[in-house]
Amino acid sequence: MGRIIEIYDTTLRDGTQSENFNLSADDKIKITHALDRFGIDFIEGGWPGSNPVSVEYFKQMQGVELKHAQLAAFGSTRHFQNPPSRDPNLQALLDARTPVVTIFGKSWDIHVHDALHIALDENLLIIQDTLSYLRSYVRRLFYDAEHFFDGYKNNREYAMATLDRAVAGGADTIILCDTNGGTLPHEIPTIIEDVRQQMEKNPRPVKLGIHAHNDSETAVANSLLALSLGVDHVQGTINGYGERCGNANLTSIIPALVFKMGYDCEVRKHIDRLYGTSRLVDELANLHHNRFQPYVGESAFAHKGGIHVSAVQRNPLTYEHIEPDKVGNIRRVLISDQSGRSNVLHKAKKWGLKLDLGDPALSTIISELKDLENQGYQYEGAEASFELLMRRALGLHRNYFKLEGFRVMSNKYRMDKAPLTEATIRLSVNGDEVHTAAMGDGPVNALDRALRKALVRFYPCLDEMELSDYKVRVLSGQHGTAAKVRVLVESKDKLCNWGTVGVSVNIIEASWQAMVDSITYKLMKEDDRKKQQPGAP
């Protein structure tokens, strides 16, 4: 193995500064656990005290043990008027109780004068004493040299002096930030080499890192180039989300450093989770996935027509730079029913379903999958629905109940009051007809309550199940209010979480589909558990 590289993810802080990218505290916690399973070394959770979501996130994360990753809190150098011990920003960082703190400070003299309104020497002072104060409270202390490349080009001596003060303050790693994203690759080597030589003069060794923005479409290139020049720490976001044009895209950087540059990192062990991690972030942020994104896009390993398809079927290396399954993606031959076979067989094995290459059910599953995807269904965040699809094709599906009909009514009887929503439902279970109703906070909640109210006396295990998340995506805006929508429902019980999906021009119908799949999946898993108990027939 080659040199060990540290991967620092800032999706939960820098990524959320992207336009239309919003996460709840619960979403951030889910992504944190996914990044931890993926093997990310450092997860920047946010800026404590900056907004209610960050406050709630750090509060809920206290006491949570991650398998590998270390959680980082992010903040600025102290205000010049406040001593470190009485600076609210620094106290909020310590209150977050994270093992890692990342402090950013000004490297560009223009920012010192125009943003902080202090003298250059005063900025050097607050860099050093901020880090010195925090040093004894944290396991790792990182310093983000904000606007470093612009600062270096404008005033090299001062920019380098800020780094020396950060080292003197106790920083373990100095991260060089291209905050405006205007630096081009040909500028990187000279600056990195100059910094390396300067750091070697310090009595205490420190690591160097790179934090690039993508305003010139060079964030990934700049990051990989920095790594090739000896930098050991790289920062970025999943799918490249970030302010303006985004941050360096970790879903492109990680496979490049693992497969093409030969470097070592914890993520190497779990690199096949790259695709799933990428899709999870998009689903939780309720954003369309970029199908043309390298490595993790739907089109990254898609082949359509002519010479390409013929060549790829003989030898995939002819038109693929790596094998798609290495990053968890799949090869798609768009004009052939071979598309997705290996992925379906992989899922069948994972779920304990007997399915092989010669089974006629395999073609049925793939044909139905293609038809459903054309209608707008996607299963990356709804594997429970996909497992049910496969079980139906294999004749292993049980109908736990039959819907006879439902109705949802919203009554806005006073303009200064929220509408009253009621759902009524009629269904049968093993010949017994049930007709019930429930009120709810909106039509979907009312329908969910009515459905479970009708079923719980037949299936008491539904009492421990709850709908934990609900997202709607309009699939096409060209039909206005008649556009199709995709509903993604996440449910959980005391043992696990699972996702289901529904698609329709009617949001209630799409929601119904996803909720029925969710309840059916729960009942199916309950049956499986009973069969595995000692003495079960």
Residue 49 is predicted with a pLDDT of: 80
Q: Convert the pLDDT of each residue in 262-319 to its tens digit.
A: 999 999 999 999 999 999 999 899 888 898 999 999 888 877 654 555 566 667 777 7
pLDDT greater than 70 at residue 451: yes
Domain-located, residue 266: yes
Q: Decide if 215 is inside a domain.
A: yes
Q: Tell me the pLDDT band of 336, cut-offs 50, 70 and 90.
A: very low
Residues sharing a CB contact under 8 Å with residue 86, sequence separation 6 or more, in sequence order:
none
* Residue 342 reports pLDDT greater than 80: no
pLDDT at position 438: 93
Classify residue 425: in a domain, yes or no: yes
For the ranges 99-108, 119-128, 146-155, 502-511, the lowest mean pLDDT is seen at: 502-511
| Structural domain ending residue among the three candidates 345, 369, 393 | 369
Strands 420-429 and 402-411: antiparallel
| pLDDT computed for residue 145 by the predictor | 98
Do 257 and 342 sit in the same domain of this protein?
no
What are the φ/ψ torsions at residue 315 (nearest 5 degrees)? -155, 105
Tell whether 51 is covered by a domain.
yes
Q: What contacts 105, CB < 8 A, 6 or more positions away?
A: 76, 77, 123, 126, 127, 130, 143, 144, 145, 146, 162, 166
Residue 280 to residue 75: CA distance in whole angstroms: 27
- Do 240 and 311 lie in one domain? The reply is no
Query: Residue 481 in 3-state DSSP?
Result: helix
- Looking at the structure, do residues 69 and 206 belong to the same domain, yes or no? yes
Domain boundary among 285, 317, 343: 285
Is residue 482 pLDDT above 80, yes or no? no
- Reference 146, options 96, 102, 97; nearest CA is 102
pTM of the model: 0.69
Query: For a pLDDT cut of 90, what percent of the chain falls above it?
Result: 69
With 50 as the cut, is the pLDDT of residue 332 above it? yes
Least confident of 8-17, 148-157, 165-174, 344-353: 344-353
Token pair in block for residue 35: 């990044």
Buried b (16+ CB within 10 A) or exposed e, 235-267: bbbbbbbbbeebbbbbbbbbbbbbbeeebebbb
167 DSSP 8-state letter: H
Structural domains counted in the chain: 3
Does 80 lie in the same domain as 47? yes
Write down the residue that tokens 């005033």 correspond to.
155
pLDDT of residue 320: 83
Tell me: do 213 and 278 sit in the same domain: yes
Residue-level pLDDT at 12:
97
Share of the chain above pLDDT 70, in %: 93
pLDDT of residue 335: 38
- 353-384 residue pLDDT tens: 998 888 888 888 888 888 888 888 888 678 89
Q: What is the mean pLDDT of residues 410-423?
A: 83
For the cut 70, the answer to whether the pLDDT of residue 150 exceeds it is: yes
Domain boundary among 285, 315, 350: 285
Give the residue-averaged pLDDT of 158-168.
97
Predicted local distance difference test score (pLDDT) of residue 338: 42
Task: Give the model's confidence band at 337: pLDDT under 50 very low, under 70 low, under 90 confident, else very high.
Answer: very low
Contact 51, 17 (CB under 8 A): no
Which residue's entry shows tokens 């719980």?
456
What is the rounded average pLDDT of the residues 386-398?
A: 90
Q: Are residues 254 and 313 in the same domain?
A: no
Instruction: Check residue 512 and give its pLDDT.
Output: 93
Residues 145 and 208: their CA atoms lie apart, in Å, by: 11
467 found inside a domain: yes
pLDDT of residue 328 exceeding 70, the answer is yes
Q: 527: domain CATH number?
A: 3.30.160.270
248-261 pLDDT, tens digit per residue, is: 999 999 999 999 99
Determine, yes or no, domain membership for 59.
Answer: yes
Tens of pLDDT, residue by residue over 80-137, are 999 999 999 999 999 999 999 999 999 999 999 999 999 999 999 999 999 999 999 9
Please state which of the ranges 233-247, 297-311, 319-333 shows the lowest mean pLDDT. Answer: 297-311
**Residue 295 domain flag:** no
484 is a domain residue: yes
- If one compares 289 and 69, the residue with the highest pLDDT of the two is 69
Q: Same domain for 331 and 439?
A: no
Mean residue pLDDT across the chain: 90
265 vs 468, higher pLDDT: 265
Q: Report pLDDT for 339.
A: 45
Task: Assess whether 234 and 355 both reside in one domain.
Answer: no
The residue that leads in pLDDT, 305 or 430, is 430
CA dist., res. 188 & res. 149, Å (int) = 9
Beta 42-46 vs 6-9: how paired, if at all? Answer: parallel
- Cα 78 to Cα 123: distance, rounded to the nearest angstrom: 10
Whether 182 and 108 share a structural domain: yes
Domain with 450, as residue range(s), is 402-532
Residues 35 and 175 in one domain: yes
* Half-sphere CA count of 221, side-chain side, radius 13 A: 14
* CATH code of 158's domain: 3.20.20.70
Can you tell me the distance from the alpha carbon of 39 to that of 68, in angstroms, rounded to the nearest whole number? 7
**Are residues 209 and 159 part of one domain?**
yes
Question: In this structure, are 130 and 221 located in the same domain?
Answer: yes
